[in-house]
Amino acid sequence: MLILTILFIIESNNIWVFTMFKTFLNALNDLRLNTRKHGLRYALKDIFKKYGWKAGVIIFMYYLIRDVTLYIIIPYLVGKGFFESIQ
């Protein structure tokens, strides 16, 4: 999934998308470091203080893409026999 996102960013030449992706990576790194130091509750509060509404949008989009892929696209492709036709 991450590879598809990176390819989209490279092909789109859209500065806003690249900036949001860079913000997303910075937010994840901050979340990881603060979670280890202070715990998850403090880390999430710090992320929302630092990045504001962008953090909420990024988290929402991450789960939206993940869940649509896992629960809609993959079962649809399995039902259509897409993976059997690849072999």
Q: What is the pLDDT of residues 13-49, one digit of tens each?
A: 556 666 777 777 788 788 888 888 999 888 888 888 9
pLDDT of residue 4: 57
Tell me the C-alpha distance between 44 and 11, whole Å: 32
Residue 14: how many CB atoms within 10 A of its CB?
Answer: 12
Lowest-pLDDT range of 11-15, 69-73, 80-84: 11-15
Backbone phi, then psi, for 61, in 5-degree steps? Answer: -65, -40
Distances (CA, A) of 65 to 45, 72, 75, 77: 24, 10, 15, 16
- Whether this prediction's pTM lies above 0.75 is answered by no
Residues whose CB is less than 8 angstroms from the CB of residue 24 and which lie 6 or more positions away in sequence, other chains included:
58, 62
For the chain, percent of residues with pLDDT exceeding 90: 2
